[in-house]
Structure 1
Protein backbone atom coordinates (compact mmCIF):
# COMPACT_ATOMS: atom_id res chain seq x y z
CA UNK A 1 0.00 0.00 0.00
CA UNK A 2 1.23 3.50 -0.88
CA UNK A 3 -0.28 6.67 0.56
CA UNK A 4 0.23 10.34 -0.32
CA UNK A 5 -0.04 12.83 2.54
CA UNK A 6 -0.57 16.50 1.66
CA UNK A 7 -0.07 18.52 4.84
CA UNK A 8 1.95 21.68 5.45
CA UNK A 9 1.86 21.32 9.25
CA UNK A 10 4.67 19.09 10.55
CA UNK A 11 2.87 18.14 13.81
CA UNK A 12 -0.32 17.32 11.89
CA UNK A 13 1.69 15.18 9.44
CA UNK A 14 3.37 13.30 12.30
CA UNK A 15 -0.02 12.73 13.94
CA UNK A 16 -1.48 11.31 10.72
CA UNK A 17 1.46 8.94 10.22
CA UNK A 18 1.23 7.73 13.84
CA UNK A 19 -2.47 6.97 13.42
CA UNK A 20 -1.90 5.23 10.08
CA UNK A 21 0.75 3.01 11.66
CA UNK A 22 -1.69 2.12 14.43
CA UNK A 23 -4.58 1.47 12.05
CA UNK A 24 -2.89 -0.64 9.38
CA UNK A 25 -1.44 -3.93 10.53
CA UNK A 26 0.61 -4.38 7.38
CA UNK A 27 3.44 -2.04 6.49
CA UNK A 28 2.84 0.75 3.99
CA UNK A 29 4.81 3.32 2.03
CA UNK A 30 3.98 6.99 2.05
CA UNK A 31 5.12 10.25 0.47
CA UNK A 32 4.69 13.64 2.08
CA UNK A 33 4.21 16.98 0.30
CA UNK A 34 3.75 20.38 1.92
CA UNK A 35 3.03 22.22 -1.34
CA UNK A 36 1.05 21.82 -4.56
CA UNK A 37 4.29 21.81 -6.52
CA UNK A 38 5.73 18.86 -4.61
CA UNK A 39 2.40 17.01 -4.72
CA UNK A 40 2.28 17.25 -8.52
CA UNK A 41 5.84 15.89 -8.64
CA UNK A 42 4.87 12.85 -6.55
CA UNK A 43 1.68 12.26 -8.54
CA UNK A 44 3.66 12.26 -11.79
CA UNK A 45 5.99 9.58 -10.42
CA UNK A 46 3.75 7.23 -8.40
CA UNK A 47 0.27 5.82 -8.09
CA UNK A 48 -1.43 5.74 -4.69
CA UNK A 49 -4.08 3.71 -2.91
CA UNK A 50 -5.45 6.86 -1.33
CA UNK A 51 -4.56 10.45 -0.48
CA UNK A 52 -4.85 12.29 2.84
CA UNK A 53 -5.04 15.97 2.00
CA UNK A 54 -5.21 19.22 3.90
CA UNK A 55 -6.94 22.01 1.97
CA UNK A 56 -4.50 24.86 2.59
CA UNK A 57 -0.89 24.04 1.61
CA UNK A 58 2.17 26.27 1.60
CA UNK A 59 1.59 27.55 -1.93
CA UNK A 60 -2.20 27.48 -2.24
CA UNK A 61 -5.23 25.21 -1.91
CA UNK A 62 -4.94 21.52 -2.73
CA UNK A 63 -8.10 21.72 -4.86
CA UNK A 64 -5.89 23.22 -7.57
CA UNK A 65 -3.93 19.95 -7.75
CA UNK A 66 -7.03 17.86 -8.25
CA UNK A 67 -8.28 20.24 -10.94
CA UNK A 68 -5.10 19.83 -12.97
CA UNK A 69 -4.05 16.21 -12.31
CA UNK A 70 -6.14 13.11 -12.98
CA UNK A 71 -6.66 11.39 -9.63
CA UNK A 72 -7.70 7.72 -9.76
CA UNK A 73 -7.73 7.00 -6.04
CA UNK A 74 -9.83 8.10 -3.05
CA UNK A 75 -9.07 11.37 -1.27
CA UNK A 76 -9.68 11.93 2.43
CA UNK A 77 -9.61 15.66 3.20
CA UNK A 78 -8.35 16.99 6.54
CA UNK A 79 -9.06 20.62 7.38
CA UNK A 80 -10.35 23.11 9.93
CA UNK A 81 -12.80 24.54 7.36
CA UNK A 82 -16.39 24.02 8.43
CA UNK A 83 -19.94 25.11 7.57
CA UNK A 84 -20.36 25.56 3.77
CA UNK A 85 -17.38 23.38 2.88
CA UNK A 86 -18.29 20.63 5.32
CA UNK A 87 -21.81 20.51 3.88
CA UNK A 88 -20.39 20.30 0.34
CA UNK A 89 -18.23 17.34 1.33
CA UNK A 90 -21.08 15.58 3.13
CA UNK A 91 -23.45 16.02 0.18
CA UNK A 92 -20.91 14.53 -2.22
CA UNK A 93 -20.05 11.59 0.02
CA UNK A 94 -16.40 12.57 0.35
CA UNK A 95 -14.52 11.49 3.48
CA UNK A 96 -13.65 14.54 5.55
CA UNK A 97 -11.79 14.87 8.86
CA UNK A 98 -12.46 18.13 10.65
CA UNK A 99 -9.54 19.64 12.57
CA UNK A 100 -8.71 19.43 15.37
CA UNK A 101 -9.43 15.73 14.83
CA UNK A 102 -9.15 12.78 17.18
CA UNK A 103 -7.85 9.27 16.66
CA UNK A 104 -11.49 8.14 16.38
CA UNK A 105 -12.13 10.65 13.56
CA UNK A 106 -9.20 9.30 11.58
CA UNK A 107 -10.25 5.70 12.22
CA UNK A 108 -13.78 6.45 10.97
CA UNK A 109 -12.43 7.98 7.75
CA UNK A 110 -10.08 5.04 7.20
CA UNK A 111 -12.94 2.61 7.79
CA UNK A 112 -14.81 4.42 5.05
CA UNK A 113 -11.81 3.96 2.79
CA UNK A 114 -11.68 0.24 3.58
CA UNK A 115 -15.40 -0.45 3.17
CA UNK A 116 -16.54 1.93 0.43
CA UNK A 117 -13.60 3.28 -1.51
CA UNK A 118 -12.18 -0.18 -2.22
CA UNK A 119 -15.43 -1.42 -3.77
CA UNK A 120 -16.38 -1.18 -7.41
CA UNK A 121 -18.77 1.67 -6.57
CA UNK A 122 -15.86 4.07 -6.05
CA UNK A 123 -15.77 6.89 -8.60
CA UNK A 124 -12.76 9.23 -8.98
CA UNK A 125 -13.36 12.83 -7.98
CA UNK A 126 -14.31 14.95 -11.01
CA UNK A 127 -13.56 18.56 -11.91
CA UNK A 128 -17.18 19.60 -11.48
CA UNK A 129 -17.05 18.33 -7.88
CA UNK A 130 -13.79 20.20 -7.27
CA UNK A 131 -15.35 23.35 -8.74
CA UNK A 132 -18.30 22.95 -6.38
CA UNK A 133 -15.90 22.62 -3.41
CA UNK A 134 -14.01 25.71 -4.54
CA UNK A 135 -17.29 27.60 -4.71
CA UNK A 136 -18.18 26.44 -1.19
CA UNK A 137 -14.77 27.58 0.00
CA UNK A 138 -15.38 31.04 -1.47
CA UNK A 139 -18.78 31.16 0.22
CA UNK A 140 -17.07 30.37 3.50
CA UNK A 141 -14.59 33.23 3.15
CA UNK A 142 -17.16 35.68 4.52
CA UNK A 143 -17.26 33.57 7.67
CA UNK A 144 -13.62 33.88 8.65
CA UNK A 145 -12.93 34.42 12.32
CA UNK A 146 -13.89 37.91 13.49
CA UNK A 147 -12.78 37.70 17.12
CA UNK A 148 -11.27 35.37 19.70
CA UNK A 149 -12.63 34.80 23.20
CA UNK A 150 -9.74 35.13 25.65
CA UNK A 151 -10.27 33.44 29.02
CA UNK A 152 -8.81 35.25 32.02
CA UNK A 153 -8.92 34.74 35.77
CA UNK A 154 -11.45 37.55 36.15
CA UNK A 155 -13.64 36.52 33.23
CA UNK A 156 -13.32 36.68 29.46
CA UNK A 157 -12.11 39.28 26.99
CA UNK A 158 -12.89 39.66 23.31
CA UNK A 159 -9.96 40.18 20.93
CA UNK A 160 -10.92 41.47 17.49
CA UNK A 161 -8.97 39.79 14.68
CA UNK A 162 -8.61 43.20 13.01
CA UNK A 163 -6.50 44.36 16.00
CA UNK A 164 -3.99 41.49 15.79
CA UNK A 165 -0.54 42.31 14.45
CA UNK A 166 1.13 38.91 14.90
CA UNK A 167 0.22 35.40 16.06
CA UNK A 168 2.99 33.03 17.11
CA UNK A 169 3.16 29.47 18.38
CA UNK A 170 3.78 29.08 22.10
CA UNK A 171 3.93 25.42 23.14
CA UNK A 172 0.55 23.77 22.68
CA UNK A 173 -1.12 27.18 22.35
CA UNK A 174 -0.50 30.44 20.52
CA UNK A 175 0.09 34.03 21.54
CA UNK A 176 -1.58 36.90 19.70
CA UNK A 177 0.03 40.35 19.85
CA UNK A 178 -2.13 43.33 19.01
CA UNK A 179 -1.07 46.61 17.41
CA UNK A 180 -0.54 48.11 20.88
CA UNK A 181 1.87 45.37 21.88
CA UNK A 182 -0.50 43.56 24.28
CA UNK A 183 -0.35 39.74 24.34
CA UNK A 184 -3.27 37.31 24.44
CA UNK A 185 -3.14 33.48 24.75
CA UNK A 186 -5.26 31.54 22.25
CA UNK A 187 -6.05 27.88 22.91
CA UNK A 188 -5.57 26.61 19.33
CA UNK A 189 -2.51 25.46 17.43
CA UNK A 190 -1.09 27.69 14.71
CA UNK A 191 -2.34 25.57 11.82
CA UNK A 192 -5.92 25.68 13.06
CA UNK A 193 -5.77 29.43 13.62
CA UNK A 194 -4.27 29.96 10.16
CA UNK A 195 -7.29 28.33 8.54
CA UNK A 196 -9.65 30.50 10.59
CA UNK A 197 -8.18 33.72 9.22
CA UNK A 198 -8.76 35.55 5.94
CA UNK A 199 -5.76 34.72 3.69
CA UNK A 200 -6.03 38.15 2.08
CA UNK A 201 -5.16 39.68 5.47
CA UNK A 202 -2.94 37.11 7.17
CA UNK A 203 0.14 35.22 5.95
CA UNK A 204 2.12 32.49 7.66
CA UNK A 205 5.62 33.91 7.31
CA UNK A 206 7.36 30.89 8.87
CA UNK A 207 6.55 27.72 10.81
CA UNK A 208 5.68 29.56 14.01
CA UNK A 209 4.34 33.03 13.06
CA UNK A 210 1.41 34.59 11.18
CA UNK A 211 1.57 38.28 10.23
CA UNK A 212 -1.26 40.74 9.50
CA UNK A 213 -0.69 42.74 6.32
CA UNK A 214 -2.27 45.91 7.73
CA UNK A 215 0.41 46.19 10.44
CA UNK A 216 3.51 45.68 8.33
CA UNK A 217 5.44 48.94 8.72
CA UNK A 218 8.67 48.06 6.94
CA UNK A 219 10.27 45.20 5.00
CA UNK A 220 14.03 44.63 4.68
CA UNK A 221 15.99 42.09 2.66
CA UNK A 222 17.90 39.54 4.71
CA UNK A 223 20.37 36.76 3.99
CA UNK A 224 19.38 33.36 2.54
CA UNK A 225 16.37 34.76 0.67
CA UNK A 226 14.61 35.94 3.82
CA UNK A 227 12.84 39.16 4.70
CA UNK A 228 12.77 41.10 7.96
CA UNK A 229 9.39 42.62 8.87
CA UNK A 230 8.69 45.41 11.31
CA UNK A 231 5.14 45.03 12.65
CA UNK A 232 3.14 47.58 14.62
CA UNK A 233 3.21 46.74 18.33
CA UNK A 234 6.36 44.61 18.17
CA UNK A 235 9.76 45.77 19.40
CA UNK A 236 11.67 43.05 17.56
CA UNK A 237 11.46 42.31 13.85
CA UNK A 238 10.12 39.00 12.57
CA UNK A 239 11.47 37.02 9.63
CA UNK A 240 10.08 35.05 6.72
CA UNK A 241 11.57 31.62 6.11
CA UNK A 242 13.43 30.97 2.88
CA UNK A 243 10.61 28.63 1.76
CA UNK A 244 7.84 31.21 2.31
CA UNK A 245 9.54 34.36 0.97
CA UNK A 246 8.49 33.84 -2.66
CA UNK A 247 4.86 33.22 -1.70
CA UNK A 248 4.94 36.16 0.67
CA UNK A 249 6.12 38.53 -2.09
CA UNK A 250 3.25 37.38 -4.33
CA UNK A 251 0.78 37.73 -1.46
CA UNK A 252 1.82 41.33 -0.90
CA UNK A 253 0.82 42.17 -4.49
Structure 2
Protein backbone atom coordinates (compact mmCIF):
# COMPACT_ATOMS: atom_id res chain seq x y z
CA UNK A 1 0.00 0.00 0.00
CA UNK A 2 1.48 3.34 -1.08
CA UNK A 3 -0.21 6.71 -0.68
CA UNK A 4 0.48 10.20 -2.03
CA UNK A 5 -0.53 13.15 0.13
CA UNK A 6 -0.90 16.52 -1.59
CA UNK A 7 -1.26 19.02 1.23
CA UNK A 8 0.44 22.40 1.72
CA UNK A 9 -0.52 22.83 5.40
CA UNK A 10 1.80 20.97 7.78
CA UNK A 11 -0.78 20.46 10.61
CA UNK A 12 -3.31 19.06 8.10
CA UNK A 13 -0.65 16.71 6.70
CA UNK A 14 0.22 15.48 10.19
CA UNK A 15 -3.45 14.86 10.92
CA UNK A 16 -3.84 12.80 7.74
CA UNK A 17 -0.78 10.70 8.59
CA UNK A 18 -2.19 10.07 12.06
CA UNK A 19 -5.51 8.87 10.62
CA UNK A 20 -3.71 6.73 8.02
CA UNK A 21 -1.63 5.03 10.70
CA UNK A 22 -4.74 4.35 12.77
CA UNK A 23 -6.65 3.00 9.78
CA UNK A 24 -4.01 0.90 8.01
CA UNK A 25 -1.45 0.38 10.77
CA UNK A 26 1.73 2.21 11.76
CA UNK A 27 4.28 3.30 9.19
CA UNK A 28 2.25 3.05 5.98
CA UNK A 29 4.38 4.06 2.99
CA UNK A 30 3.56 7.50 1.66
CA UNK A 31 4.99 10.48 -0.18
CA UNK A 32 4.15 14.06 0.68
CA UNK A 33 4.04 17.07 -1.61
CA UNK A 34 3.10 20.65 -0.82
CA UNK A 35 3.15 21.85 -4.43
CA UNK A 36 1.82 21.01 -7.88
CA UNK A 37 5.36 20.82 -9.27
CA UNK A 38 6.58 18.32 -6.69
CA UNK A 39 3.35 16.32 -6.94
CA UNK A 40 3.85 16.08 -10.69
CA UNK A 41 7.32 14.69 -10.13
CA UNK A 42 6.04 12.02 -7.75
CA UNK A 43 3.25 10.95 -10.12
CA UNK A 44 5.67 10.61 -13.02
CA UNK A 45 8.00 8.30 -11.10
CA UNK A 46 5.77 6.43 -8.62
CA UNK A 47 2.56 4.40 -8.57
CA UNK A 48 0.01 4.89 -5.79
CA UNK A 49 -2.97 3.01 -4.39
CA UNK A 50 -4.77 6.16 -3.27
CA UNK A 51 -4.17 9.93 -3.29
CA UNK A 52 -5.27 12.33 -0.55
CA UNK A 53 -5.32 15.79 -2.06
CA UNK A 54 -6.02 19.31 -0.93
CA UNK A 55 -7.26 21.63 -3.69
CA UNK A 56 -5.13 24.71 -3.08
CA UNK A 57 -1.39 23.92 -3.00
CA UNK A 58 1.55 26.29 -2.64
CA UNK A 59 1.94 26.94 -6.37
CA UNK A 60 -1.56 26.33 -7.77
CA UNK A 61 -4.53 23.98 -7.62
CA UNK A 62 -4.39 20.20 -7.73
CA UNK A 63 -7.07 20.09 -10.46
CA UNK A 64 -4.45 21.33 -12.92
CA UNK A 65 -2.08 18.55 -11.85
CA UNK A 66 -4.69 15.83 -12.44
CA UNK A 67 -5.66 17.42 -15.75
CA UNK A 68 -2.07 17.10 -16.95
CA UNK A 69 -1.23 13.64 -15.58
CA UNK A 70 -3.62 10.72 -15.87
CA UNK A 71 -4.20 9.05 -12.50
CA UNK A 72 -5.87 5.65 -12.34
CA UNK A 73 -6.15 5.30 -8.54
CA UNK A 74 -8.80 6.74 -6.21
CA UNK A 75 -8.43 10.41 -5.25
CA UNK A 76 -9.95 11.71 -2.03
CA UNK A 77 -10.06 15.49 -1.85
CA UNK A 78 -9.59 17.15 1.55
CA UNK A 79 -10.38 20.85 1.60
CA UNK A 80 -12.05 23.72 3.44
CA UNK A 81 -14.00 24.75 0.35
CA UNK A 82 -17.73 24.22 0.81
CA UNK A 83 -21.19 24.66 -0.77
CA UNK A 84 -20.60 24.85 -4.57
CA UNK A 85 -17.57 22.56 -4.59
CA UNK A 86 -19.22 20.15 -2.16
CA UNK A 87 -22.23 19.94 -4.50
CA UNK A 88 -19.95 19.51 -7.50
CA UNK A 89 -18.11 16.61 -5.88
CA UNK A 90 -21.35 14.93 -4.83
CA UNK A 91 -22.75 15.32 -8.34
CA UNK A 92 -19.76 13.44 -9.75
CA UNK A 93 -19.54 10.82 -7.00
CA UNK A 94 -16.10 11.97 -5.85
CA UNK A 95 -15.06 11.47 -2.21
CA UNK A 96 -14.64 14.79 -0.44
CA UNK A 97 -13.69 15.44 3.19
CA UNK A 98 -14.58 18.92 4.37
CA UNK A 99 -12.05 20.54 6.71
CA UNK A 100 -11.91 20.50 9.67
CA UNK A 101 -12.61 16.78 9.26
CA UNK A 102 -12.94 14.09 11.91
CA UNK A 103 -11.58 10.57 12.14
CA UNK A 104 -15.07 9.35 11.24
CA UNK A 105 -15.16 11.50 8.06
CA UNK A 106 -11.77 10.13 7.04
CA UNK A 107 -12.75 6.49 7.64
CA UNK A 108 -16.00 6.89 5.72
CA UNK A 109 -14.17 8.27 2.65
CA UNK A 110 -11.50 5.54 2.70
CA UNK A 111 -14.11 2.80 3.18
CA UNK A 112 -16.10 4.11 0.22
CA UNK A 113 -13.21 4.19 -2.19
CA UNK A 114 -11.72 0.89 -1.07
CA UNK A 115 -15.08 -0.73 -1.75
CA UNK A 116 -15.60 0.92 -5.16
CA UNK A 117 -12.06 0.24 -6.32
CA UNK A 118 -12.11 -3.43 -5.30
CA UNK A 119 -15.41 -3.90 -7.15
CA UNK A 120 -14.04 -2.19 -10.26
CA UNK A 121 -16.61 0.61 -9.97
CA UNK A 122 -14.20 3.50 -9.59
CA UNK A 123 -14.24 6.03 -12.44
CA UNK A 124 -11.04 7.98 -12.95
CA UNK A 125 -11.19 11.76 -13.32
CA UNK A 126 -11.42 13.02 -16.88
CA UNK A 127 -10.83 16.50 -18.30
CA UNK A 128 -14.56 17.23 -18.49
CA UNK A 129 -15.08 16.50 -14.78
CA UNK A 130 -11.97 18.45 -13.80
CA UNK A 131 -13.09 21.49 -15.80
CA UNK A 132 -16.49 21.26 -14.10
CA UNK A 133 -14.79 21.24 -10.69
CA UNK A 134 -12.58 24.20 -11.64
CA UNK A 135 -15.66 26.12 -12.71
CA UNK A 136 -17.32 25.36 -9.36
CA UNK A 137 -14.18 26.54 -7.56
CA UNK A 138 -14.23 29.86 -9.43
CA UNK A 139 -17.93 30.26 -8.72
CA UNK A 140 -17.38 29.70 -5.02
CA UNK A 141 -15.08 32.73 -4.89
CA UNK A 142 -17.91 35.01 -6.08
CA UNK A 143 -19.72 36.46 -3.09
CA UNK A 144 -23.42 36.39 -3.85
CA UNK A 145 -25.94 38.04 -1.55
CA UNK A 146 -26.98 35.90 1.44
CA UNK A 147 -29.37 38.29 3.17
CA UNK A 148 -30.96 41.73 2.93
CA UNK A 149 -31.31 44.31 5.69
CA UNK A 150 -34.95 45.45 5.77
CA UNK A 151 -35.64 48.77 7.49
CA UNK A 152 -39.06 49.02 9.12
CA UNK A 153 -40.72 51.47 11.49
CA UNK A 154 -40.13 49.11 14.42
CA UNK A 155 -36.49 48.58 13.60
CA UNK A 156 -34.27 46.52 11.30
CA UNK A 157 -35.03 42.98 10.15
CA UNK A 158 -32.91 40.48 8.23
CA UNK A 159 -34.33 38.66 5.22
CA UNK A 160 -32.42 35.55 4.17
CA UNK A 161 -32.09 35.21 0.40
CA UNK A 162 -32.81 31.49 0.78
CA UNK A 163 -36.34 32.36 2.00
CA UNK A 164 -37.27 34.56 -0.98
CA UNK A 165 -39.76 33.12 -3.47
CA UNK A 166 -40.07 36.06 -5.87
CA UNK A 167 -38.75 39.62 -6.24
CA UNK A 168 -40.81 42.18 -8.14
CA UNK A 169 -39.74 45.60 -9.38
CA UNK A 170 -41.64 48.63 -8.17
CA UNK A 171 -40.10 51.80 -9.55
CA UNK A 172 -36.71 52.46 -7.97
CA UNK A 173 -37.12 49.71 -5.37
CA UNK A 174 -38.29 46.10 -5.25
CA UNK A 175 -40.69 44.00 -3.22
CA UNK A 176 -39.56 40.53 -2.14
CA UNK A 177 -42.13 37.92 -1.18
CA UNK A 178 -40.94 35.13 1.11
CA UNK A 179 -42.25 31.55 1.26
CA UNK A 180 -44.71 32.56 3.98
CA UNK A 181 -46.28 35.13 1.65
CA UNK A 182 -44.88 38.09 3.59
CA UNK A 183 -43.66 41.06 1.55
CA UNK A 184 -40.40 42.94 2.20
CA UNK A 185 -39.28 46.21 0.55
CA UNK A 186 -35.73 46.25 -0.82
CA UNK A 187 -34.39 49.68 -1.72
CA UNK A 188 -32.58 48.70 -4.91
CA UNK A 189 -33.47 48.43 -8.58
CA UNK A 190 -34.17 44.98 -9.97
CA UNK A 191 -31.24 45.24 -12.40
CA UNK A 192 -28.87 45.69 -9.43
CA UNK A 193 -30.43 42.82 -7.46
CA UNK A 194 -30.15 40.48 -10.43
CA UNK A 195 -26.34 40.83 -10.29
CA UNK A 196 -26.24 40.07 -6.56
CA UNK A 197 -28.18 36.78 -6.62
CA UNK A 198 -26.79 33.36 -7.45
CA UNK A 199 -27.58 32.63 -11.13
CA UNK A 200 -28.22 28.93 -10.49
CA UNK A 201 -30.89 29.71 -7.92
CA UNK A 202 -32.50 32.89 -9.24
CA UNK A 203 -33.75 33.74 -12.72
CA UNK A 204 -35.16 36.98 -14.10
CA UNK A 205 -38.21 35.67 -15.97
CA UNK A 206 -39.23 39.10 -17.32
CA UNK A 207 -38.33 42.77 -16.94
CA UNK A 208 -39.91 43.06 -13.49
CA UNK A 209 -39.69 39.65 -11.75
CA UNK A 210 -36.96 37.36 -10.43
CA UNK A 211 -37.88 33.92 -9.10
CA UNK A 212 -36.21 31.30 -6.89
CA UNK A 213 -35.95 27.84 -8.48
CA UNK A 214 -36.43 25.98 -5.19
CA UNK A 215 -39.94 27.36 -4.73
CA UNK A 216 -41.39 26.58 -8.14
CA UNK A 217 -44.48 24.42 -7.53
CA UNK A 218 -45.88 24.16 -11.05
CA UNK A 219 -45.19 25.36 -14.61
CA UNK A 220 -47.86 25.66 -17.31
CA UNK A 221 -47.63 26.45 -21.01
CA UNK A 222 -49.18 29.77 -21.97
CA UNK A 223 -49.84 31.62 -25.21
CA UNK A 224 -47.14 33.30 -27.32
CA UNK A 225 -44.31 31.07 -26.05
CA UNK A 226 -44.80 32.06 -22.42
CA UNK A 227 -44.96 30.00 -19.23
CA UNK A 228 -47.13 30.46 -16.15
CA UNK A 229 -45.33 29.62 -12.90
CA UNK A 230 -46.83 28.89 -9.47
CA UNK A 231 -44.48 29.76 -6.61
CA UNK A 232 -44.63 28.85 -2.96
CA UNK A 233 -45.98 31.71 -0.83
CA UNK A 234 -47.19 33.68 -3.87
CA UNK A 235 -50.93 33.80 -4.62
CA UNK A 236 -50.83 34.93 -8.24
CA UNK A 237 -48.89 33.02 -10.89
CA UNK A 238 -45.96 34.76 -12.54
CA UNK A 239 -45.20 34.61 -16.26
CA UNK A 240 -42.06 34.43 -18.36
CA UNK A 241 -41.60 36.89 -21.19
CA UNK A 242 -41.48 35.45 -24.71
CA UNK A 243 -37.85 36.53 -25.01
CA UNK A 244 -36.81 34.77 -21.77
CA UNK A 245 -38.77 31.51 -22.07
CA UNK A 246 -36.12 29.61 -24.02
CA UNK A 247 -33.32 30.53 -21.58
CA UNK A 248 -35.61 29.75 -18.65
CA UNK A 249 -36.28 26.22 -19.98
CA UNK A 250 -32.53 25.63 -20.23
CA UNK A 251 -31.97 27.07 -16.75
CA UNK A 252 -34.39 24.74 -14.96
CA UNK A 253 -32.77 21.71 -16.61
CA UNK A 254 -29.24 22.48 -15.37
C-alpha displacement of 1:27: 5.2
Q: Which residue of 2 aligns with 1:124?
A: 124
In structure 2, relative to structure 1, the CA distance for the partners of 1:122 and 1:26 (3 Å cut) is farther
C-alpha displacement of 1:121: 1.4
Which whole-Å CA distance do the structure 1 matches of 2:118 and 2:51 have between them? 13
Matched, 1:101 2:89: no
The answer on whether the counterparts of 2:53 and 2:77 sit within 8 Å (CA) in structure 1 is yes
Structure label with greater radius of gyration: 2
Q: Which residue of 2 aligns with 1:139?
A: 139
Structure 2 matches for 1:1-253, cutoff 5 A?
Answer: 1-25=1-25, 28-143=28-143
Which whole-Å CA distance do the structure 2 matches of 1:25 and 1:113 have between them? 18
Which whole-Å CA distance do the structure 2 matches of 1:118 and 1:130 have between them? 23
Scaled by the length of structure 2, what TM-score is found? 0.55
Identify which range, 94-103 or 115-124, moves more after superposition: 115-124
Q: Which residue of 2 aligns with 1:197?
A: none
C-alpha displacement of 1:26: 7.3
The answer on whether the counterparts of 2:113 and 2:122 sit within 8 Å (CA) in structure 1 is no
Which whole-Å CA distance do the structure 2 matches of 1:56 and 1:118 have between them? 29
C-alpha displacement of 1:69: 0.4
C-alpha displacement of 1:115: 1.2
Gap regions ≥5 residues in structure 2: 147-254
Q: Which runs of 4+ in 1 moved over 2 A?
A: 25-28
Render the CA deviation track for 1:97-156: whole Å, top value 9, x for unaligned.
000111111111111122113321112111100000000011111139x9xxxxxxxxxx
In structure 2, relative to structure 1, the CA distance for the partners of 1:143 and 1:119 (3 Å cut) is farther
How many residues end up aligned between the 2 structures? 146
C-alpha displacement of 1:91: 0.7
Q: Secondary structure at the match of 2:3?
A: strand
Which whole-Å CA distance do the structure 2 matches of 1:138 and 1:117 have between them? 30
Which whole-Å CA distance do the structure 1 matches of 2:91 and 2:103 have between them? 24
Render the CA deviation track for 1:210-252: whole Å, top value 9, x for unaligned.
xxxxxxxxxxxxxxxxxxxxxxxxxxxxxxxxxxxxxxxxxxx
Root mean square deviation, CA, Å: 1.8
Q: Secondary structure at the match of 2:30?
A: strand
Which whole-Å CA distance do the structure 1 matches of 2:119 and 2:46 have between them? 22
Render the CA deviation track for 1:69-91: whole Å, top value 9, x for unaligned.
01111100000001111000001
Gap regions ≥5 residues in structure 1: 147-253
Q: Which has the higher contact order (CA 8 A, sep 6+)?
A: 1
Q: Which residue of 2 aligns with 1:236?
A: none
Which whole-Å CA distance do the structure 2 matches of 1:75 and 1:143 have between them? 28
In structure 2, relative to structure 1, the CA distance for the partners of 1:143 and 1:104 (3 Å cut) is farther
Which whole-Å CA distance do the structure 1 matches of 2:27 and 2:80 have between them? 29
